[in-house]
């Protein structure tokens, strides 16, 4: 019988490989909507990390891991918005200089 840790690792590995295959097959035209979706998922993650880190019964380990999670997720969100903005600018028509 598999333990909870083994089952959790199996699900994590399976999600990683499926996620990589799905992302790899996305056409470049769908990059911007995909980035917007991942930013929304990251926003949910940052709220969860803030709630866990700020809870009254948080241990030192959970506070440190929560801080690392918040830092990583906020970096991901900001980078995603910057990349999305750059992609959108590429599709705008340039004005002709007179």
The answer to pTM > 0.85 is no
Pick from 51, 55, 49: which is nearest to 71 by CA?
Answer: 49
Pick from 65, 44, 41, 71: which is nearest to 53 by CA?
Answer: 65
In a domain, 60, yes or no: yes
In a domain, 2, yes or no: no
In a domain, 18, yes or no: no
What is the pLDDT at residue 60? 92
Range of the structural domain that residue 62 is part of: 28-91
In a domain, 77, yes or no: yes
Count of structural domains within the chain? 1
- Does 39 have pLDDT greater than 80? no
Specify whether the CB–CB gap between 46 and 74 falls below 8 A: yes
In a domain, 11, yes or no: no
In degrees rounded to 5, what are phi and psi of residue 3?
A: -80, 170
In a domain, 12, yes or no: no
In a domain, 83, yes or no: yes
Average pLDDT, the chain: 81
Lowest mean pLDDT segment, chosen from 32-41, 57-66, 87-96: 32-41
């Amino acid at each position: 019988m598999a333990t909870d840790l083994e089952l959790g690792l199996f699900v994590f590995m399976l999600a990683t490989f499926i996620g990589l295959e799905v992302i790899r097959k996305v056409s470049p035209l769908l990059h911007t909507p995909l980035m917007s979706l991942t930013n929304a998922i990251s926003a949910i993650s940052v709220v969860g990390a803030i709630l866990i880190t700020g809870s009254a019964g948080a241990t030192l380990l959970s506070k440190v891991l929560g801080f690392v999670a918040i830092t990583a997720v906020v970096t991901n969100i900001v980078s995603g918005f910057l990349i999305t903005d750059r992609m959108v600018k590429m599709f705008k028509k340039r004005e002709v200089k007179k």
